[in-house]
């Protein structure tokens, strides 16, 4: 293709990489999104992969995908349908074609479409030859054979060569979007600094894919997505799990409390522990426990000694931690519990995302056992909500459960890195040495007791799982005292509503329809609401980050709209909580339990139905 052909400028583009679970699609997508970030594009990503460590090869069940949306303006969701679909085998084409727009560009490895793999994917005929793909722009390239050919002078065995074919496909996509190879080439040198031969292989294949796309004139035109007009600052493409770890690290620095994480590996939360372990230089202590119970109990011990204590998990692990959360509640010690939600119940769908742990976070403990419950709304927001979870836990001396989910934890966004000094102050209520008025359960105006660190002169006291006497702190089984302590612990959590932000509304402050959401549905719900607002519909959006307690103006907001619809990736947990807290309102609900996120299109359709009803 002539280099004089000017690229077509796009406002945004969605690219989906898909292949067998061993084809390296997660790495391919990550490299492309990192390059887009360096080019100044705003972006959002959505990794989608099977739970099996090595699913059956060339089957639909074993397909791994990675979707990235990049744009020249703020990107709020990873996109409904893709403009470009890379399919490395028949199974990936079969399972992902439904996510491609009509007229989308399909880049497929034609070498992978033999009789056996076609049948294994569930096709009766070769889809590259039966005219079933006529409504798409099909680019069938012999990626596997061209990859092998590019390495023939390197004496590379076929298995090693085939492992790098994902880089050939990436080179084609880089050419299609006029992206530089430089960032990926530098990555190979860093990643394989101890294996320079592997770095050289990937460099050759990536460059060959790019050059092939150019010389073979695969595309009638190429595309470019201009950089976004973002505020000045230092930016990084960051996943939600890494952002969560960074938020906790920042909270430790701001509060002056050492950071301790006691956790057990569990999908999709493990990356928080991995990231935290990289920052020992910042004083972070990470303990990989033998199980979930040991993880949280070690964190409670660290909290007792004065640390910002954290434990991270997913739904099954939160179940195991429930008794220990009760211990933190009754001892009134600060503790941040991060739950990266996944599909359930039981082992469920470990690599898929849900919002189905809200009841568990609110009520999943024995006895009257209140805790603050918060949720993050985007990968970047994981940083800020982790920071605020630490702030409220430390300042109010009570556990905080922070709910993220798999789509947030594994997904990524472009984040402007803030200075720690820009973040709100964190002031833990530390008891002072030799305070003659110190009592373990004496409370301030917020109903918060002081934090007496072991070894501090004159502050000897008892804590534990048995009920304590109000103010004095000795063990008590007195019925009236238990009533008092139960009421105080509940009132302390409710009083946090005086310190959290008031709920905001996007759109008119009253109108025909209020759309309510929480957690990781923010971007897609907000995009749907904006689409309707641009068409003149009287629709507003309230997205909740603070759930227990709810913001003080929640009832006032709900009362100002003719209809309220609550959208959740569960069977209706937040809407039922709102019915408990604000029964004066009538609520509609829109729920989805398919291990898939909402799509803007289906939300717009539903909201129109509600408006027209």
Structure confidence by residue, pLDDT tens digits, 32-72: 999 999 999 999 999 998 887 777 888 998 999 999 999 99
The mean pLDDT of 19-25, rounded to a whole number, is 92
Asked if residues 478 and 469 have their Cβ atoms less than 8 Å apart, the reply is: yes
Q: What is the dotted CATH code of the domain comprising 511-612?
A: 3.40.50.920
Structure confidence by residue, pLDDT tens digits, 362-386: 999 999 999 999 999 999 999 999 9
Strand order in the sheet with 308-313: 285-288, 259-263, 308-313, 335-341, 399-405, 372-375, 546-548
CATH topology agreement for domains 236-422 and 511-612: yes
pLDDT at 1: 43
The mean pLDDT of 126-152, rounded to a whole number, is 96
Contacts of 235 (CB under 8 A, 6+ apart): 37, 414, 415, 416, 417
Structure confidence by residue, pLDDT tens digits, 85-109: 999 999 999 999 999 999 999 999 9
Residues in a beta bridge with 63: 20
Asked whether residue 535 carries a pLDDT value surpassing 70, the answer given is yes
More confident residue, 22 or 24: 24
Between CA 433 and CA 276 the distance in angstroms is 32
- Band (4; pLDDT cuts 50, 70, 90): low
- Band (3; pLDDT cuts 50, 70, 90): low
Asked whether residue 421 carries a pLDDT value surpassing 80, the answer given is yes
Contacts of 534 (CB under 8 A, 6+ apart): none
Place of tokens 């079969």: 94
H helices present in 474-572, as ranges:
479-495, 522-534, 554-558
The mean pLDDT of 250-256, rounded to a whole number, is 97
- Band (6; pLDDT cuts 50, 70, 90): confident
pLDDT at 9: 96
Asked if residues 610 and 392 have their Cβ atoms less than 8 Å apart, the reply is: no
Asked whether residue 2 carries a pLDDT value surpassing 70, the answer given is no
Which residue in 369, 278, 285 sits closest to 322, CA to CA? 369
Asked whether residue 390 carries a pLDDT value surpassing 60, the answer given is yes
Backbone angles phi, psi at 136, to 5 degrees: -115, 165
- Chain CA centroid to CA 47, Å: 10
Structure confidence by residue, pLDDT tens digits, 431-468: 999 999 999 999 999 999 999 999 999 999 888 999 99
Q: Is the dihedral of CA 584, 587, 593, 599 positive or negative?
A: negative
pLDDT at 322: 98
For residue 268, cis peptide bond before it (omega within 30 degrees of 0): yes
Length of the chain: 613
List of E strands, 99-222? 100-109, 137-141
Between CA 522 and CA 537 the distance in angstroms is 19
The mean pLDDT of 301-319, rounded to a whole number, is 98
Eight-state DSSP code of residue 439: -
Between CA 589 and CA 276 the distance in angstroms is 38
Mean per-residue pLDDT over the chain, rounded: 96
H helices present in 333-378, as ranges:
358-363
Gyration radius from the chain CA atoms = 26
pLDDT at 69: 97
Between CA 306 and CA 198 the distance in angstroms is 47
CATH class of 8-224: alpha beta
pLDDT at 451: 97
Asked if residues 213 and 176 have their Cβ atoms less than 8 Å apart, the reply is: yes
Asked whether residue 28 carries a pLDDT value surpassing 60, the answer given is yes
The mean pLDDT of 522-542, rounded to a whole number, is 97
- What is the 3-state secondary structure of 204-255? HHHHHHHHHHHHCCCCCCCEECCCCCCCCCCEEEEEHHHHHHHHHHHHHHHH
Place of tokens 């090869």: 57
pLDDT at 52: 77
Query: Which one of 1.10.3720.10, 3.40.50.1010, 3.40.50.970, 3.40.50.880 gives the CATH number of domain 236-422?
Result: 3.40.50.970
pLDDT at 399: 98
Q: Domain ranges in the chain? A: 8-224, 236-422, 511-612
Asked whether residue 111 carries a pLDDT value surpassing 60, the answer given is yes
Look up residue 278 and give its two tokens.
């990289």
Asked if residues 264 and 313 have their Cβ atoms less than 8 Å apart, the reply is: yes
Q: In the Cβ-directed half-sphere of 6, how many Cα atoms lie within 13 Å? A: 3
């Amino acid at each position: 293709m002539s280099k004089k052909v000017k690229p077509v400028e796009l406002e945004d583009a969605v690219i989906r990489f898909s292949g067998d679970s061993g084809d390296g699609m997660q790495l391919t997508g990550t490299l492309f999104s990192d390059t887009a970030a360096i080019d100044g594009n705003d972006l959002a990503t959505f990794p989608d992969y099977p739970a099996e460590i090595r699913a059956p090869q060339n089957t639909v069940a074993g397909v791994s995908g990675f979707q990235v949306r990049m744009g020249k303006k703020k990107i709020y969701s990873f996109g409904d349908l893709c403009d470009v679909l890379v399919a490395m085998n028949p199974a990936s084409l079969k399972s992902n074609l439904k996510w491609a727009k009509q007229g989308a560009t399909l880049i497929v490895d034609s070498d992978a479409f033999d009789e056996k793999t076609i049948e294994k994917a569930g096709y009766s005929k070769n889809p590259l030859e039966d005219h079933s793909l006529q409504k798409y722009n099909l680019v069938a390239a012999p990626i596997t054979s061209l990859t092998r050919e590019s390495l023939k002078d390197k004496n590379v065995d076929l298995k090693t060569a085939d492992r790098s074919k994902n880089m050939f496909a990436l080179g084609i996509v880089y050419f299609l979007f006029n992206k530089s190879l430089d960032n990926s080439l530098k990555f190979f040198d860093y990643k394989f600094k101890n294996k320079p031969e592997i770095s050289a292989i990937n460099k050759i294949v990536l460059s060959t894919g790019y050059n092939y796309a150019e010389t073979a004139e695969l595309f009638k035109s190429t595309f470019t997505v201009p950089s976004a007009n973002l505020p000045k600052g230092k930016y990084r493409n960051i996943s939600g799990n890494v952002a969560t770890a960074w938020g906790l690290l920042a909270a430790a620095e701001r509060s002056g409390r050492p950071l301790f994480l006691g956790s057990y590996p569990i999908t999709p939360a493990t990356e928080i522990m991995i990231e935290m372990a990289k920052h020992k230089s910042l004083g972070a202590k990470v303990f990989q426990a033998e199980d979930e119970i040991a993880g949280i109990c070690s964190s409670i011990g660290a909290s007792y000694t004065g640390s910002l204590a954290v434990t991270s998990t997913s739904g099954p692990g939160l179940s195991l931690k429930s008794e220990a959360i009760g211990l933190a509640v009754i001892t009134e010690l600060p503790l941040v519990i991060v739950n990266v939600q996944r599909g359930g119940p039981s082992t469920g769908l470990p690599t898929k995302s849900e919002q189905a742990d809200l009841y568990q976070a609110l009520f999943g403990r024995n006895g009257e056992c209140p805790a603050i419950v918060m949720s993050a709304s985007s990968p970047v927001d994981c940083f800020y909500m982790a920071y605020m979870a630490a702030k409220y836990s430390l300042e109010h001396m009570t556990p905080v459960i922070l709910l993220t989910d798999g789509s947030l934890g594994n997904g990524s966004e472009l984040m402007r890195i803030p200075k720690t000094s820009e973040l709100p102050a964190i002031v833990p209520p530390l008891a002072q040495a030799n305070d003659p008025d110190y009592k373990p359960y004496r409370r301030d105006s917020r109903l918060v007791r002081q934090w007496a660190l072991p070894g501090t002169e004159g502050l000897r006291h008892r804590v534990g799982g048995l009920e304590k006497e109000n103010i004095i702190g000795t063990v008590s089984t007195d019925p009236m005292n238990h009533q008092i302590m139960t009421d105080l612990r509940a009132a302390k959590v409710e009083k946090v509503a005086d310190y959290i932000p008031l709920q905001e509304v996007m759109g008119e402050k009253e109108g025909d329809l209020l759309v309510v959401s929480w957690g990781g549905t923010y971007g897609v719900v907000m995009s749907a609401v904006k689409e309707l607002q641009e068409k003149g519909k009287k629709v507003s959006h309230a997205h909740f980050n603070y759930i227990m307690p709810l913001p003080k103006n929640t009832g006032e907001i709900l009362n100002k709209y003719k209809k309220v619809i609550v959208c959740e990736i569960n069977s209706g947990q937040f809407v039922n909580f709102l019915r408990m807290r604000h029964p004066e309102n009538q609520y509609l609900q829109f729920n989805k339990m398919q291990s898939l996120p909402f799509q803007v299109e289906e939300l717009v359709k539903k909201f129109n139905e509600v408006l027209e009803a």
